[in-house]
Amino acid sequence: MRISVVAAEDEQATLGMYRWFRDDENLAGHAVEMRDDGRPTGTMGAIEFIDVVLTHGTALANLVIAYATWRQSRDDDTTEVTFTCDGRSITVKDASPETIDRIVAALSSPASPEVEGR
């Protein structure tokens, strides 16, 4: 399962979340990399995102828990974060239990039309 994660319009938040995921013990052994959308460096509008490759369903739960703890570690809790997997995406602004449930449901459900939640 390949999931991309990006903090909308906030490169520092994306980089911080990447470091958090990379250092998370529960995500050890899973590929967690920073990538860009292929535009040349310095190009206006180039977007960096986190690319996570998970090997089993439990790893999805670990990713979502890592997101929740990252979110709780930040003073500014307004950054929108978008998770995308197999054409499905969900955008969230918090780490409430309801939001965590929505992320897991959106990313673990069979391929379907795009899911958008805020």
Tens of pLDDT along 104-113?
999 987 654 4
Round to whole Å and give the CA distance between 35 and 56: 22
CA 112 to each of CA 61, 79, 87, 88, 89: distance values in angstroms, whole numbers, following the listed order: 20, 26, 8, 7, 10
Q: Hey, how many other C-beta atoms are within 10 angstroms of the C-beta on 24?
A: 18
Give the domain ranges of the chain.
Answer: 2-37+46-108
pLDDT in tens, 8-51: 878 888 889 999 999 999 888 888 888 876 655 554 455 678 88
State the pLDDT at residue 111: 56
* Residues of the chain above pLDDT 70, percent: 81
Rounded to two decimals, what is the model's pTM? 0.77
Round to whole Å and give the CA distance between 103 and 83: 8
pLDDT band of 118, cuts 50, 70, 90: very low
pLDDT in tens, 39-87: 555 544 556 788 888 887 788 999 999 999 999 998 766 789 999 998 8
Between the two ends of the chain, the Cα-to-Cα distance in Å is 23
Antiparallel, parallel or unpaired: β 81-85 and 48-53: unpaired
| Fold of the domain built from segment(s) 2-37+46-108 | Alpha-Beta Plaits (3.30.70)
Round to whole Å and give the CA distance between 70 and 112: 28
Phi, psi (degrees; rounded to nearest 5) at 6: -145, 140
pLDDT band of 114, cuts 50, 70, 90: very low
